[in-house]
Chain A
């Protein structure tokens, strides 16, 4: 019981921090919007060019936006001694990591999902594909956040570890990108409950089971 209360405290605090000075919430959203808004400038505004690549482009932008704000995931806790405080809380570090990943999902990724219809319109995507895109983003975002938490935990002792985090997280992001974009592409024929969509959901569940454990172990290692 006290572990759940502690996890809720971490979740609430991180959510509040995300929109403060140095928080990741606004960074991810602005990066996402800027990338997608500049794409038509570089690629030309033609519907038959932009439309087909739009799902893949949006997924890539979302994954990179997530990576961009991951560096600070555990960093400020580590530097300010907050990790020691969290380690002695009634919640094990695994639960703490999961709570932080949840807060990251809410603060950094939910705004992206909310903004995705605007981007879809900018990229001349078929209006019928917007709903599948948002569902796919909702199902895939937990995986992005949880994998990011595990990678950030491993790199927490490294100064300027953002690149290291990206290198560790990107290979694990690959299935999310492949099946995320695939789910949008097959939606006209297969509908929402397509095989890629189900795989995406399964992958997020797998990450929910595996990543907090990895993150907890990595944090313990870095406390030494």
Chain B
């Protein structure tokens, strides 16, 4: 697939429909339960913004969905093409996680990082993704000289290089400049148009306009508010 102008966007791939639902979910981290009684259901094109105070459990919830933290109670289910999918298998083919640590190998160059993700997840168009994120000129530079924002842009390339329908983003705009945030908004909007799902923990309502908001900490889902 190609990135850039609107014409090629329309011909871009569309994901097989994926549904993700949680019922009365509780996530354990170490000894204690850090977030409990969370329920939501998202489908193709949906975005869910996780809001809440520091320490409310937004990160833990994302890590629980990704399978890093154990699910103590409740149900988490992926449905692919309408049929229930095995949880571990679904995560290994459907899910991208982008956390506080960017997952960028600093001793490799930007392009080598991209190639690695393309090989690891199955994907391609490394240089197109780097260019799209404004790293075209830095493709041959080692990621160790990148600023936090540039590392985050490189990490976002991972989402483009290996297309997967479910994005779990933990404060993805934290290190980004204004231009980077605008780009992130566009990527999320595009991803949703292709039938993707975005779950993101954020303090910035501008990250995902028109997203449902899940207040973590009280487990209440309010639809369509982004204030």
- Which residues in window 57-97 of A have CB below 8 A to B? 76, 79-82, 84-92
Instruction: Let me know if A85 and B120 touch, CB within 8 A.
Output: yes
CA distance A6 to B158 in the complex (A): 15
Q: Which one, A12, A23, A224, contacts B29 given CB within 8 A?
A: A224
Q: Which of A14-22, A147-155, A176-184 contacts B (4 or more CB under 8 A)?
A: A14-22
In the complex, per-residue mask of B84-95: 1 if CB is within 8 Å of any chain A CB, else 0? 000000011101
Q: Which of B13-21, B44-52, B64-72, B192-200 contacts A (4 or more CB under 8 A)?
A: B64-72
Question: What is B's interface to A at a CB cutoff of 8 Å?
Answer: 28-30, 63, 66-70, 91-93, 95-97, 99-108, 112, 116-117, 119-122, 144, 158
A108 → chain B closest CB, angstroms: 16
B130 → chain A closest CB, angstroms: 17
- Collect the chain B residues with CB atoms within 8 Å of residue A86's CB: 120
Q: Which one, A2, A5, A80, contacts B102 given CB within 8 A?
A: A80
Q: Which residue of B lies closest to A10 (CB)?
A: B120
Instruction: Let me know if A88 and B96 touch, CB within 8 A.
Output: yes
Majority DSSP secondary structure for residues of B touching A: mixed
Q: Which one, A13, A16, A90, contacts B122 given CB within 8 A?
A: A90
Question: What is A's interface to B at a CB cutoff of 8 Å?
Answer: 2, 5-6, 8-10, 12-13, 16-17, 20-23, 76, 79-82, 84-92, 223-224
Q: Which residue of B lies closest to A86 (CB)?
A: B120
CA distance A91 to B119 in the complex (A): 12
CA distance A82 to B106 in the complex (A): 10
Given the known interface contacts A9-B119, A84-B99, A85-B158, the answer about A16 and B112 at a Cβ–Cβ threshold of 8 Å is yes
Instruction: Let me know if A90 and B101 touch, CB within 8 A.
Output: no
Instruction: Let me know if B101 and A79 touch, CB within 8 A.
Output: yes
